[in-house]
Structure 1
Amino acid sequence: MTSDITLFVNPAAGRRRAPQAAQPAARALREAGFTVRTVVGVDAQDALHRARQAVAGGTGALIAVGGDGITSLALQAVAGTGTPLGVVGVGTGNDFARAMGLPVRDPAGAARRIAESLKGDGGREIDLGRAGDTWFGTVLAAGFDSRVNDRGNRMRWPGGRFRYDLAIVAELAAFRPTPFRIRLDDGPEQEIEATLVAVGNTSSYGGGMRICADARPDDGLFDVTVVGPCSRTTLLKVFPRVYRGTHLTHPAVTVHRVARIELAAEGITGYADGELIGPLPLTVRTVPRAVRVLGA
């Protein structure tokens, strides 16, 4: 194990808390005996390039400081390389950090957990999802939820989460089920109508919405939650149950456990870890033991 490790910092995460959080995290890691260098990109592509350079250069670990966005970028750099991932979760959602049982908004505590893992077990091996060339750790979403993301990303006002609250209201006004074509593993192609399809490596997205409540990141399978066609009234009744994971018992909801899924629908984009993947069709597969997560 090399003692040289890399902090990978999102300067905008958590209302710009990440740069401040990087300082106590770095201090805790140095107190544990590690040499710490920091990588901050001018934009996402530059940040990813720098992270990949650090991995190629033999860094002992890549430590993402921020939320699910910077963690997603870090996964693109470390997946399949053998370089372990650490997460100091100080973003808005932190779904990946929570799924791994890691401290959230406690940068020094998270860093101490990472240091103990580096010196001890070397991290927990988990599965990742892959859509095309993009890796993801939590949930890939397509349908109503991705339409909300599309609309929210087009809006210039207001800022923060309120933008997405307004986007939900606007999408509800235009709400309609979507015709999907799906293929589960090597089964036949099916034509269905659905409100949304969520492909879960872990249980939650959107800051604690447990859309794939029973998903486990170490079983080699996705939990695919399909919310079938329903009325606005039904959607509004079911939606609050997502935070507890009790929506899975609703008659409009079905769950499939698969290693691979093909998704196609006109005018629908896919988002994974909250980041845009691209328009459907998409083929999504699970890759067992694709990364080691420190402290998990």
Structure 2
Amino acid sequence: MSESEANAEALVPKFKFERLLNQDQAGRRSSMLGTIDGQPALLILERAPFPSSADYLGSVPASLRAIRNLGANDIYHWYLANSGPVSGADSHEFADLKINLIWPCTEKHIKKYSRQGVRFVTETPEIYRDHVRPYMQAQREAGRLNWAFNIIEGRKEAEDVIYRTPYGEDPEEGFLLLPDLNWDRKTLDALHLLGLVERRDLWSLRDLRKKHLPWLRHMKAKFLDATTSVYPSIERDQLKLYLHYQPTYYHLHIHIVHVALEAGATQATGKAVGLESIMSQLETMAGDDEEAGMDSVTLCYTLGEASDLWVDVFEPLKRTNTAS
């Protein structure tokens, strides 16, 4: 190591913390003000990517400390943990890892979380009717919604529910709100909640019709009221609501997130569709036809090349169109 490198590395341990200036990237980057040798200094800490070494990754699970379960539902489990000791502190308070565990996982899960190429597809009303809707039905019949029904029926995560209409009182209007399993439940700038509807005939935004507008407006207002009541430091205009298309699972649900949550792939164009945009589109459809709905529009979105929807539907359609 050169003398200049050694001198540079010696500076960091001399940093004397004064105050936190900012946290962004959902708390993964911290900007701090302090001093070094009496002179003002800015220190910016950012979590580095996990090493890809098999030896390192294989050793991580056994090395975690203070693992605390946040919840468990069917095959899904989520935790907070420490990657190392925290000197002189309550280890639970300073957890630096949010962990999701899917066990036992399926081949579908493995494909979803594997690195893969991405395609941008166009789903016309005809493709939806003839190909995608039957695919959705097959997925639902495979019984992969047990975890969602556990929540809706109050068998799991009942203590986490922030708001719900009385279960079963009006199955066509009922809904509930709870933290999304990907949120650590403490970083408010990264707040991510999930709204689940009781009714089972609405699989995705494709099933929404003009007649659902009063219900959607009511549900949106209740979600905003409940969120700002439970988290009073958050105001209504600091929240955004969206639906995924394609969703990960085919039971209608709405995501409620803090506007400061940095948009990753799940909030990007081609994946997330704003609830307000859906409602506005429904409002302008077909005059007074209450049955006019989102199944009549063309939607464009991204798909992973390993996804069943690409392999079984859109790739064969592409080959057919290319051949013709």
Higher relative contact order (CA 8 A, sep 6+): 1
Which one has a bigger Cα radius of gyration?
A: 2
- Fold-level similarity (TM above 0.5): no
More strand by share: 1
TM-score (structure 2 length as normaliser): 0.23
